[in-house]
Amino acid sequence: MTERGPKSIVTPLRRVRHLGAAHSGTRHFWHQRLTSVANIPLTILLVLIVVGLLGRNHAAVVQILGSTPVAIVMLLFIITSVYHMWLGMQVIIEDYVHDEMLKVVALMGNTFFSFATGLAAVFAILKLSFGL
């Protein structure tokens, strides 16, 4: 029996280098699931909003999109979707990119792209809502 239990799957070299489990997988897993569940009603509401905009002129669309309830729904959708996208791409990059330098660059690019996309979308909604 070892110090880690009867059958440890951590090799002696990994034990010395402390390369066992990072213990952040559960939190990451639940954030991914929470954002996906939150996106279900938000996506339905967003589709209903877009369908309600069909056939309206520009002024009516701006007025509807600038209203507080619509802006809140859209902001929640953007924030949860971008966070969900960022988490999902992070997992894909960590699992399938094996070159360490390329992995670091891809993770940085994922963070930059997610942040820039979310910021641009949030800015657009706030501009419609507040006329900035």
pLDDT value at 10 more than 70: no
pLDDT at position 54 is 96
pTM of the model: 0.78
Summarize the confidence of residues 105-122 as an average pLDDT. Answer: 97
pLDDT tens per residue across span 79-93: 999 999 999 999 999
Strand stretches in 1-132, DSSP E: none
pLDDT value of position 32: 93
Domain 23-130 has CATH 1.20.1300.10: yes
**Type of residue found at 120:** A
Lowest mean pLDDT segment, chosen from 14-18, 21-25, 64-68, 70-74: 14-18
Burial code (b: 16+ CB inside 10 Å, e: under 16) for 19-57 equals eeeeeeeeeeeeebeebeebbeebeebbeebeeeeeeee
Element (H, E) at 68: helix 68-96
pLDDT at 131: 77
Supply the mean pLDDT for the chain: 88
